[in-house]
Amino acid sequence: MPSPILTTLPLVSNLLKAKFVGRLKFANSAKVDVGKYKIELPPGLAAADAPQPSFVTRKELDQQLGKPRPSVKGVAKAKFSLAYANFNQQWRQIPTKNGPPQWQFMGGEVYFDSTVSVYILDEYKPNDKDKSSVNRFRIIIQHELEHVLDDADLVRTFMPQAVLKESMVQRYFVQNQPMDNSMFEYFIRGPKLQEYFEPTWMLERNKRADKRDSPEEYNRLMREMQKA
């Protein structure tokens, strides 16, 4: 026979915390041929996470960069977004006596998605019959894949930890407190929660990119390119 205490708590006992899961996605599903070009993947990046770059003109690359940067030969871009494993099952409506309902998070996976695209100047498209051309391509793509590794780590490791510091996440996704309807419409059904997380992701992404693109690293790559 169930105890009287347990029967009063079925709602609470069914609740689960959010599980934040990072997913690396690609604008283009093709993967770069790691074996053929003898590409050394940065430790931690799987070949399945190494996208085939799009080869673009200088003008197109500058558009991706946001401004002309004549020394830049490639760029890895990423878009952050938020998704749910099953939105309608994960958010439960709690009716109130008067007025609009409240909403409660029921647990399950919440995804941090990063959709990555890599662009490389078309003059660095590898010509398989020309060894230096292949070497130059390898140097550039290996560098861009370091940014892709950062993008993977940002959504898989950094963001799931970083968002736990947010009181809103603690309240609604960890403690499963009820959320009022207008807030639910604005943040959860609308894009606001994603927009609220985005600066945290962007700030850390810029920090890591600056490290990858430090003047020392840039000079090292330039010397490698000259030897290629």
E strands present in the chain = 18-26, 54-56, 74-84, 91-94, 102-105, 108-121, 179-180
Chain residue at closest Cβ approach to Zn ion? 213
Q: Alpha carbon of 60 to those of 109, 121, 133, 144: distances in Å?
A: 37, 9, 21, 17
Amino acid occupying residue 117: S
Q: Which amino acid is at 86?
A: N
Distances (CA, A) of 180 to 93, 104, 174, 187: 10, 9, 16, 11
Smaller CB separation from Zn ion, 109 or 213: 213
Which of 74/126 has CB closer to Zn ion? 74
Q: How far is the CB of 144 from Zn ion (least distance, A)?
A: 7
Q: How far apart are CA 157 and CA 21, in angstroms?
A: 9
Q: Which is nearer to Zn ion, 172 or 208 (CB)?
A: 208
Instruction: Report the nearest approach of Zn ion to the CB of residue 225 (Å).
Output: 13
CA angle 144, 148, 151 (to 5 degrees): 140
Give me the least distance between CB of 141 and Zn ion, in Å please: 11
Which C-beta is closer to Zn ion: that of 195 or that of 217?
A: 217
* Separation of CA 186 from chain center: 22
Supply the minimum distance, in Å, between the C-beta of residue 100 and Zn ion: 48
Shortest reach from residue 212's CB to Zn ion, in Å:
5
**Nearest distance, CB of residue 122 and Zn ion, angstroms:** 18
In the complex with Zn ion, which residue's Cβ is closer, 156 or 212?
A: 212
Give the interface with Zn ion as residue ranges (CB under 5 A).
212-213
Nearer to Zn ion, 62 or 213 (CB): 213
Whether 127 and 54 have beta carbons less than 8 Å apart is answered as no
